[in-house]
Amino acid sequence: MPETFRNHIIRLGGFHTLSCFIAAIGKLWGDGGLKDLLVDSSVYASGTVDQMLNGKEFNRAVRALTLAFEALYVSLLSAFFKWCVDKDVIKSFPITFWSSLSYIA
């Protein structure tokens, strides 16, 4: 009915935009190890991960991506602190840095 709906514009809402974004993450990082990370950690089953990375299981995908981000961020901070100790540069950081870091952690 093109005459009836000629003034209408179809566009995605926020939920569908986020689902497409999650599907894009799945397409980029799914074969790069994200799928293996989620399956091998025994947190999610293989079929569930496939659905999540296709943008179908929205709530599970958000939770899984949040868990993966937090795990990688902890690993990054651990490596940074180890590097600081190895290079003996911890004393060169101002005290406000450590108080700010403890506030966000």
Whether 90 shows a pLDDT value over 90: the answer reads: no
Q: Note the pLDDT of residue 92.
A: 84
Q: The whole model's pTM is what?
A: 0.72
Q: What is the mean pLDDT of the chain?
A: 88
The domain locations on the chain are 14-104
The contacts of residue 30 (CB under 8 Å, 6+ apart) are 53
In terms of residues, how long is the chain?
105
Mean per-residue pLDDT, 54-77: 92
What pLDDT band is residue 105 in, cutting at 50, 70 and 90?
low
Per-residue pLDDT of 35-61, as tens digits, reads: 999 999 888 999 999 999 999 999 999
Confirm if 63 and 70 have CB atoms less than 8 A apart.
Answer: no
User: Judging by beta carbons within 10 Å of its beta carbon (0-12, 13-18, 19+), is residue 39 exposed, middle or buried?
Assistant: middle
What is the distance between the alpha carbons of residues 96 and 91, in angstroms, rounded to a whole number?
Answer: 12
